[in-house]
Amino acid sequence: MAGGNAIRGSRVGAGPMGEAERGESAPRLRVSFWCANGHETQPSFASDAQIPETWDCPRCGFPAGTERDAPPDPPRTEPYKTHLAYVRERRSDADGEAILAEALAKLRGEI
């Protein structure tokens, strides 16, 4: 015989919750936002809330705006730079040659 618990899977206070128990919901306003990839998102806001200028697209993560023909530009991502790339930004080739010559001279015992 299966367990004799007749109220299995329910809890105290469980039951359908209607507007009588929760109160009336605030009036809503759905606003369309479009990203640079053409995805449309329609979040809902309370009718008296301030609508943001941009909204993150849930499909691609790009920022989305309310104008379909002029969506915000996607964020520009910089490629990963190596240590050598940062050194080349700070020093010229002539500086590098001078530092290398000094280091080689120290290794050879000339300095």
**Residues in binding site for Zn(2+):** 35, 39, 57, 60
Distance (Å, whole) CA 60 – CA 90: 36
Q: Which residue ranges are tagged as binding site?
A: 35, 39, 57, 60
Question: Using CA of residue 95, residue 96, residue 97, residue 101, what is the dihedral sign?
Answer: positive
- Which pair of tokens denotes residue 88? 């080349």
Q: Are strands 40-41 and 44-46 parallel, antiparallel or unpaired?
A: unpaired
Half-sphere exposure of 58 (CA within 13 A, CB side): 5
- Which pair of tokens denotes residue 64? 């989305």
Q: Tokens 């299995």 — which residue?
A: 8
